[in-house]
Amino acid sequence: TNLKEAIKDGDVDKIKETFAEVPGSVPIKMQALYVCLFGETLAEDDSLAKAFQKQERLLHEFANDPASQLAQLMALEALLAGAEASSKARKEIPLLLKFLYEEDVVDEAIIIGWHHKSNAASVLGVEEAAAQEVRKLAEPVVQWLEEADTDDDSDESDDEGD
């Protein structure tokens, strides 16, 4: 069974089994998964945010550890840095990152770390200029996460003074 067929069948165990058979590293496997899940949406220039909501359960299944979470961000970056991605699709980056964070698919520290490592997806063939463009669009969400993180820290220090 290939990954696309397994996804169409909707059997999570089958999808995981097929995912494991994809040759290559975790980011390469994740890129294959993202292409299967969101490639058509991209080609038709439909809303990726809606497609992500529809696939939320599956995205959770492949976010069990920091390496998998980072691989998802790399796969997303590769998807949106590719020539097939329209500027409309790229503009959804903040929405998609916010969704991955708020639905507990990807941890905020991993999003922030990915954002600061501009060559993160170079192993997936993402070129520097495209990586920079993706990060520029992601900036508002990353700033929001960093500020929220700072607010948490300052709340804790306020409590200690009581």
Give me the mean pLDDT over the 9-35 stretch: 95
Q: What is the pTM of this model?
A: 0.90
Distance CA 81, CA 69 (A): 18
Question: What percentage of the chain exceeds 90 in pLDDT?
Answer: 81
Distance CA 160, CA 125 (A): 48
Q: Is the pLDDT of residue 14 over 50?
A: yes
Residue 84 · residue 44 · CB < 8 Å: no
Over residues 133-152, the pLDDT tens digits come to 999 999 999 999 999 877 76
